[in-house]
Structures are given as C-alpha cells and as structure tokens.
Amino acid sequence: MLSSQKTSLFRKRMLQILTSTIQKKLDMQGINQGMDKELITQYTASAFVGIVEWWILNNMLHSPQLMAEQAWKLFERNNICC
C-alpha cells in the first residue's frame, strides 16, 4: 500500500513539474498555432510520464541516453523548446 502511494505521489509530482515546464516553453507558433495550449501541455506531459513508466516497468530495455534522445526528438517535433 505504501509503495503504491509513493508511486502515485511521484507520478503526480512529475506531472506537475513537466506541466509547468512545458507550459512555459511551448511555442504556439507553427505547428501548434490555433491549438489549445493546455491540451498540448497535458498531452505531452502525460505521454512523457507514460513512456518513463513503460521504460521502468519493462526493466529499462533501453539506455537512459537513448530514452533521453528519443524524448528530446519528440519534444522538438511538437515545438517544445527545452
């Protein structure tokens, strides 16, 4: 039970940090023009947390470097300048 609560708190905090960071850095020009900023922010943060969870639950099949590179490319594709 305690482990589950800690996992939930970690996930919630990670989402809060990512949401805040993405919201500040999201470029609303180009591909994102005309889109809802909050929707893009929530989608991107949730997707990132999801791939981190997937990576951990699958025994970290890929190196941290590969995961970081792939995540960076996904952020770039969505005009999120980190």
Q: Write out 8-45 in H/E/C secondary structure.
A: HHHHHHHHHHHHHHHHHHECCCHHHCCCCHHHHHHHHH
What is the per-residue pLDDT for 21? Answer: 92
What is the per-residue pLDDT for 30? Answer: 86
What is the per-residue pLDDT for 17? Answer: 95
Q: Are 24 and 58 in contact (CB under 8 A)?
A: no
What is the per-residue pLDDT for 15? Answer: 95
Domain positions in the chain = 2-77
Beta bridge partners of 26: 80
Expressed in percent and rounded to 5, the helix, strand and coil fractions of the chain are 75, 0, 20
Give tens-digit pLDDT for 41-68: 999 999 999 999 899 989 999 999 999 9
3-state SS, residue 61: coil
| pTM score of the predicted model | 0.78
